[in-house]
Amino acid sequence: MKAPGAIFLFVLFSFHLNAQVNAYARVTSISSTTIGIGTSNETYGTFITGLPVIIMQMQDNTIGSNTSNNSSFGTLSSIQSTGMYEIAHITSVSRTPGLSQITISSPLTNTYNINSNSSVQVISYPLLSSSDYTTTADISAVAWNGSIGGVVAFRVGGTLTLNHNITADYAGFRGGSINAGNAGSCDATTYISSTSDNYANKGESIYKVSNTAYAAGRGRILNGGGGGNNHNAGGGGGSNASAGGDGGKGYNCVSSSGGLGGTTLYSFIGSNRIFMGGGAGAGEANNNYTTTGGNGGGIVIITANQITTTGTGSALRISANGQTASDVGNDGAGGGGAGGTVMLNVATWNIAATKTLTISSNGGSGGNVTDAAAHGGGGGGGQGAVIFSTATPVTNITTRTLNGIGGRNYAGGTYADNGAGSDNVGIFNSSFGLLPLKLINFKAKKSTNANSLDWMMVNDDEITYYEVQRSYNGNNFETIASIQQSAHDYSFTDNNAEDKNIFYRIVMHDNTGNIQYSNVVMIRSANTSSISVALMPNPVSSNATLKIDAARAVTGTIRIVNPIGMIVFAKNVKLNEGENIVALPDITRLQTGAYQVVVNAANTSSNIKMLVNR
């Protein structure tokens, strides 16, 4: 049965550029190549077959048995898998109807822990351009919400020209909240408490708190600062590459009731393990001033051949700074959030003297007490990390990882502690574990007796040979050919393929022994009961039509995804059995580039590249 025009319900139509570029999803299980998904956010990007993603352990059970009510509470027992990450490629996505499962091309290298005291997320890793890209707006991370977010990550195949800022400021672990307290005696001995009028809450950290008895009190919790205790003590600063500062003593206190600063993670930071900045502890309050702790900085990951600026104008920044806490009156002040991590896999830099660049992961400062009587200022946040894949660039570039300043305990008086140690110890030079993605096109075509594979490479001088791999289930791959590096365009014909759904991928081996996997492409069996999609014409200049062949009547969703992974068009569509013709929106409103048209129906996903060329 043919349907000359499919019936559809218009849902969303948008061509504006958002400041965020990533999609996020909470990982609930990992079994070989199958990743179970909980909550997700695909507002600014989407997870689709063939695209790379970053798997990252955000939190883990790092305090072990250090849970007693003393100064050892919240200190490190074992770093576990916290901060570890790697790249994977999606082979399929399940939506029932929301995102529920992602299948990747090969098992993960690292071990990721999923329990009540941990969190793992998957983050889209969009390619803004396979060649050069110039920013059109500030790009920032979606703030961490306790299970997802906090990371901005993207790739550019050539030169990234900055006209705007790239930031994850205040997007990391969250600062502690206040509890409306009562005036009382100074308490220097309560390190853990459930939510109480007498104790402010701790900042968030690399340990995911599941026990409500740990919520408040002056004890740190790894890189999260402790909350101020009764009476009006300041919150401790968060930490990352350096420790956070302790909060001020409190009102008329001899022994300190201030929150302890988060502990340093310096020795664990590297190209394969990175952290968001710890949240700061809140100040204790009995007069209802707002004294929350500052949020930590998030994570920025950029891969590009070169970063440049041109022309004149204000200095630009790439930053993951911690948040400075607000000033208060006659109550304790919150601590400053720690700096996060900026990771730059960039070969060369060409920054103009007329448009300079600052790269920073600074700790936020503690809040000041503005009252004349001594209360507790907030502890300064520790500095974060900036990691370069090459030597630290210096020409027209300023790189900083500064400790936050401790807040005043009273107007004109003493200060709470700064973030610990010397400034700029968080600047690292390291070789990345992220291989440059040099494969710019990989496609497969079914013919009567064989399947034809074609792929294209750029700058593949370091590649020594390629493996062609085949799978009938999308999980277990076998090598069916080995091809030496000799040209930029490659092809292979599989003459021994069975008439089943078949998955193919390319494994690239470089001259240092590292390997990189391509995206996975699939050829459907002639007997499949799923859907097939064709686009007419392609390339597109103004109007385009989708032809969708469905094995049965079904309701589906059509999305257009732009080159940086953002959804620019989506609608529900009712498909009849057989051929369905669906008109796409006015393409003249899209910029020139390569888009993905994704059709989800019958628990399957099919996507086709759409080239917009005007």
Per-residue pLDDT at 435: 47
Phi/psi-derived region of residue 564, left when phi > 0, alpha when psi is between -120 and 50, beta in every other case: alpha
Is the residue at 458 inside a domain?
yes
Is the residue at 507 inside a domain?
yes
- Take residue 155 and report the two structure tokens written for it: 């790739």
Give CA–CA dist 293/367, Å, rounded.
Answer: 9
Domain boundary among 460, 485, 513: 513
Is the residue at 21 inside a domain?
no
Q: Which residues of the chain, if any, have pLDDT below 70?
A: 1-18, 290, 430-441, 448, 458-461, 474-475, 487-489, 512, 519-520, 524-530, 563-565, 602-603, 614
Is the residue at 392 inside a domain?
no
Is the residue at 598 inside a domain?
yes
Domain boundary among 513, 543, 558: 513
Give CA–CA dist 161/3, Å, rounded.
Answer: 47
Is the residue at 245 inside a domain?
no
CATH number of 487's domain: 2.60.40.10
Give CA–CA dist 368/225, Å, rounded.
Answer: 17
Is the residue at 306 inside a domain?
no
- Take residue 371 and report the two structure tokens written for it: 């009252």
Is the residue at 199 inside a domain?
no
Residues 508 and 537 in one domain: no
Per-residue pLDDT at 458: 60
CATH number of 594's domain: 2.60.40.2550
Residues 504 and 535 in one domain: no
* pTM of the predicted model as reported, rounded to 2 decimal places: 0.75
Residue numbers of the domain that contains 485: 439-513
Per-residue pLDDT at 130: 79
Residue 268, Cβ neighbours under 10 Å: how many? 16
Per-residue pLDDT at 518: 73
Domain tally, the chain: 2
With tokens 């490659």, the residue in question is: 490
- With beta carbons less than 8 A apart as the criterion, state whether 316 and 355 touch: yes
Give CA–CA dist 289/333, Å, rounded.
Answer: 9
With tokens 């300064």, the residue in question is: 380
- With beta carbons less than 8 A apart as the criterion, state whether 227 and 176 touch: yes
Domain boundary among 458, 486, 513: 513
Per-residue pLDDT at 519: 67
- With beta carbons less than 8 A apart as the criterion, state whether 398 and 353 touch: no
H or E element at residue 545: strand 545-550
Q: What is the 3-state secondary structure (H, E, C) of 298-315?
A: CEEEEEEEEEECCCCCCC
Residues in the chain: 614
Per-residue pLDDT at 487: 63
Per-residue pLDDT at 541: 81
